[in-house]
Amino acid sequence: MNRLPTTVWHPMWVAVANLQNLALPGRRYYPNQDGYSEAAYRRKVAWVGQQFHRLSADVLLCPEVWDEQALREAVAASKLRYPTVVVPGAEAGAQGTPRLGLVSRWQVERLQTLSDFDPADQVPVPELGLQTRFERPVLMAELRGPQDQELTLLGVHLKSKRPKFLLDAEGNPLEDRDDPSVQARATLRSLLMRAAEAAALRRFVVTLARGRQRPLVVAGDFNDGPLSVTSQLVAATQAVAYDREARDTALFHAVDLQTEPGLRHDRPYSHVHQGWPELLDQVWVSEEFDPRSRFAVGEVRRVEVFNDHLLEGRDGSRSDHGFLRVLLQFRGA
């Protein structure tokens, strides 16, 4: 009896873990924020290490890291071995805004930070002038796995929904933050900044998709949900419904593609704001991970959300984000 050939799968676990201001002790990363005491820092590093051990991902993308040394200590606390632990822009401490950390077992063949918009993507923001760059640079990594799997990863942390109030040169407020009309105007600025970043990121996605030699994963803290305008600016998944050629440059949400439907949650969430749960931390993949595509090289097997700590209270050591872990499978020979 002839038997069908058995498919060999090579797994890759990818995780997004927003570490909520991981910084060295005593460092005032924001002017109005006291630094961690030595004891508080040790608690945070130990907690992050425990979470890394639970995730045991091949690749971890970590938004909100102020000091590369702090991330290295958290990885050491996990008792896991990772050849690559980097935070571009935070080697000697980030200034102004936290950076994205990359922790990887896979070989990093190329690592680049993308800060500036294409001139065509620059957008005027009311009272602030022209936005020309990402507030937190995008991280681009070309990765190679132990069985010669290839992947391009774009790590992102888009502008938050927090209202963007006007400040003077010393950081003092120039607006009445209690005025609802001022709050609306400040929220508009924030939205425009996030939308501008999303559109600029979309240009990177399209450029990589059109000339790609590797499957593409875009992951991180989008500061908005999967169906939001800003997320769809990046992914353009909805265009596939009426234009099949749009698949070439579209991204597909890992939650929608996972092939173990029994593990799906009715409403996965990674953040709770004023009682409202949202999936801000996301993983998007190119069509090479859609089994329906003739270009498929693998699939999204499973998506898991580690968010129990969001209900455990705040003590400064835990993150205010749940962590997302995605199992990608590459089809082998």
Closest CA to 88 of 34, 49, 134, 48: 134
d(CA 85, CA 104): 7
d(CA 214, CA 332): 15
d(CA 40, CA 60): 23
What does the pLDDT profile of the chain (333 residues) look like in tens digits?
A: 556 567 889 999 999 999 999 999 999 888 878 899 999 999 999 999 999 999 999 999 999 999 999 999 999 999 999 999 999 999 999 999 999 999 999 999 999 999 999 999 999 999 999 999 999 999 999 999 999 999 999 999 999 999 999 988 877 889 999 999 999 999 999 999 999 999 999 999 999 988 777 899 999 999 999 999 999 999 998 878 777 778 889 999 999 999 886 555 556 777 776 567 788 999 999 999 999 888 999 999 999 999 887 877 677 789 889 999 999 999 986
> Which three-class secondary structure state does DSSP give residue 240?
helix
DSSP string, 164-221: ---B-TTS-B-S-TT-HHHHHHHHHHHHHHHHHHHHHHHHHHHHHHHT-SS-EEEEEE
> Which three-class secondary structure state does DSSP give residue 43?
helix
105: amino acid identity, one letter: R
pTM, two decimals, is 0.92
d(CA 307, CA 269): 8
- Residues with Cβ < 8 Å from 316, sequence gap 6 or more? 36, 40, 43, 44
d(CA 251, CA 262): 23
